[in-house]
């Protein structure tokens, strides 16, 4: 079930920590621009990208896996609220499995990222799902 504007507004208002899976180190990439926007609007962004694990992106330590990121956030006394997925559709299912395992509140699949089976699995596990929408665009729209 896709979230409507009111549910997205509530989700974005109540969330504080967003793991960005597939966050790039390149400023020209959409994932970087979206993550920077989220930081500028008060969210803690937790980078997840195995290629850049151990590096810092936008001032935050990059983790190799979502599980590692969730463990680090938990040690700091918080939890990951939203998993923002910048992966190709065919790579979403393992991200959803990890999101369920770490107890995330929501899996957000960016524009063009569509996996109905993974979305159903996440919803069945109790996670909110947003699919084929940009979190930056939705934030700008519902939080105005």
Query: Per residue in 63-95, pLDDT tens?
Result: 999 999 999 999 999 999 999 999 999 999 999
| All domains of the chain in start order, with CATH | 5-142 (3.40.50.720)
Among candidate residues 108, 64, 61, 103, the one with its CA nearest the CA of residue 84 = 108
- The length of the chain in residues reads 144
Residue 17 confidence (pLDDT) above 70: yes
**Half-sphere exposure of residue 39: CA atoms within 13 angstroms, side-chain side:** 15
Pairing of strands 56-57, 60-61: antiparallel
Give the whole-number percent of the chain exceeding pLDDT 90. Answer: 94
CA dihedral 78, 91, 38, 98 (to 10 degrees): -10
53-63: average pLDDT? 98
CB-based contact 58:35 (threshold 8 Å): yes
25-51 pLDDT tens trace: 999 999 999 999 999 999 999 999 999
Task: Identify which of 94, 88, 110, 89 has the alpha carbon closest to the alpha carbon of residue 18.
Answer: 110
Output the six-digit token pair for 1: 């079930």
- Report pTM: 0.96
Is pLDDT at 1 greater than 80 in this prediction? no
pLDDT, mean of residues 50-59: 98
Q: Mean pLDDT in the chain?
A: 96
Residue 69: predicted pLDDT: 98
pLDDT at 143: 86
pLDDT at 4: 87
């Amino acid at each position: 079930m896709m979230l409507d504007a009111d549910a997205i507004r509530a989700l974005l208002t109540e969330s504080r920590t967003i793991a960005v899976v597939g966050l790039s180190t390149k400023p020209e990439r959409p994932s970087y621009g979206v993550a920077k926007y989220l930081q500028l609007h008060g969210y803690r962004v937790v980078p997840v990208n195995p290629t850049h694990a151990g590096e810092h992106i936008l001032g935050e330590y990059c983790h190799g896996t979502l599980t590692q990121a969730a463990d680090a956030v938990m040690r700091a006394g918080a939890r990951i609220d939203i998993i923002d997925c910048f992966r190709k559709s065919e790579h979403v299912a393992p991200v959803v499995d990890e999101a369920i395992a770490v107890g995330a509140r929501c899996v957000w699949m960016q524009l063009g990222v569509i996996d109905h089976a993974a979305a159903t699995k996440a919803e069945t596990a109790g996670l909110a799902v947003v699919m084929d929408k940009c979190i930056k665009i939705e934030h700008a729209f519902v939080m105005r």
